[in-house]
Amino acid sequence: MENEILIDNALKSELSALYLAEGRHYHDLAHIEAMLALAHDYRGLLADPEAVEAAIWFHDAIYDSKAKDNEAQSAALAEERLAGRADPERLSRITAMILATATHQLPRIDDAAAARDASLFLDMDLSVLGAAPDAFDAYERAVRREYDWVEEPLWRAGRAAVLKTFLARPHIFHTQEFRRRFEPRAKRNLARSLAALESG
């Protein structure tokens, strides 16, 4: 069961169509490809790389900036499409990873190897925070376009609250590998963005 391909070409095509939908400026196929590249870079650290790849493919499959249940809807889609391809325990690990992207807090997983995979997966999803300043700024503009229906004062207040939440954490990233590679620049990017939001 563990050796079966979870994401075949037909499923990739189906999911790619969702990521190419109109109105996606950051939560798009480029975001998925960037995460898959990181999963490839860190493959040697992953206990179940195929499960992490599946979580990457599905985690933003359903995305509506006006909805509050995107992660739950994406996890439900994964359960539906991966039924029969992954055993129930493996599927529950995949959906736990997807659901965790709502808060980027580590889900409660008893299995140490699965918890490590979830940590790396969540860090891959947030790696853009530690990107070079111009890439980070492009990400910020893309997210703003996804929320273009939100008036500027409300956007500034809401976005500032999100950034403060990340900056208030002891660490933005869960793993030592990602802290070393991305944490210092992520903190600088977030602080710079927060200052711009608050200065108006």
Does pLDDT of 58 surpass 90? Answer: yes
Residue 86 carries which DSSP code?
B
Does pLDDT of 5 surpass 90? Answer: no
Mean per-residue pLDDT for 172-181?
Answer: 98
- 102-116, 119-133, 145-159: lowest mean pLDDT where? 102-116
Q: What is the pLDDT of residue 109?
A: 86
Looking at the structure of the chain, the number of domains it has is 2
What is the rounded CA–CA span in Å between residue 160 and residue 178? 23
Residues 92 and 140 placed together within one structural domain of the fold: no
Mean per-residue pLDDT for 176-199?
Answer: 97
What is the rounded CA–CA span in Å between residue 73 and residue 38? 25
| 192 belongs to a structural domain | yes
Residues 26 and 90 placed together within one structural domain of the fold: yes
Mean per-residue pLDDT for 124-140?
Answer: 98
Q: pLDDT tens digits for 67-122?
A: 999 999 999 999 999 999 999 999 999 999 999 999 999 988 889 999 999 999 99
Residues 76 and 145 placed together within one structural domain of the fold: no
Residues 91 and 133 placed together within one structural domain of the fold: no
Token pair belonging to 134: 């111009």
111, amino acid identity:
D
Residues 51 and 134 placed together within one structural domain of the fold: no
> Collapsing DSSP states into helix, strand and coil, what is residue 127?
helix
DSSP collapsed to 3 states, 165-186: HHHHCCCCCCCHHHHHHHHHHH
